[in-house]
Amino acid sequence: MARPGELERRILDLLWARGELSVREVRGLLGDDLAYTTVMTVLDRLHAKEAVLRRKDGLAWRYRPRQSKEQALADKIVRLVPRDLHDASPLLEAFLDRAEQLDDDALDKLEALIRSRRKERKRC
């Protein structure tokens, strides 16, 4: 049996990979013996959570992600960080430790983003 939220994640992964899909298309791509109503319920739940957008196409709904996978992950991370964090050093060090496991291009991009943000702050 799937853990709660696992089916939501799988469906979002499909939408991120494929774009806009109907309930029938999602059900077919999952490759499971899931009932049509189960997939429809999960997509309705994702819509209620504002994770997906939908539009009417004849009698059916077509669903697409509200934001990119990267933006969704960034939003999730931001929600985890306490607003009243007085010393961000441990958090930043943990992030850097993880970022160092990526390739040098990722670190170069991070460095360029920091420089860019500093320039923007100086202009304001």
The model scores a pTM over 0.85: no
Q: Which comes out higher in pLDDT, residue 31 or 47?
A: 47
Cα–Cα distance for residue pair 67/73, rounded to 1 Å: 10
Cα–Cα distance for residue pair 94/112, rounded to 1 Å: 19
Render pLDDT for 11-33 as a digit per residue (tens, 0 to 9). 999 999 999 999 999 999 998 78
Which token pair is 6? 């696992």
Cα-to-chain-centroid distance, residue 50: 12
Angle at 16 between CA 5 and CA 92, to 5 degrees: 75
Which token pair is 86? 């007085």
What was the pLDDT predicted at 1? Answer: 46
Cα–Cα distance for residue pair 94/62, rounded to 1 Å: 40
DSSP per residue, 74-88: HHHHHHHS-TT-S--
Question: What fold does the segment set 6-65 form as a domain?
Answer: Arc Repressor Mutant, subunit A (1.10.10)
Q: According to CATH, where is 1.10.10.10 located in the chain?
A: 6-65
Q: Give the pLDDT mean for 107-119.
A: 90
Compute the mean pLDDT over every residue in the chain, rounded to the nearest whole number: 89
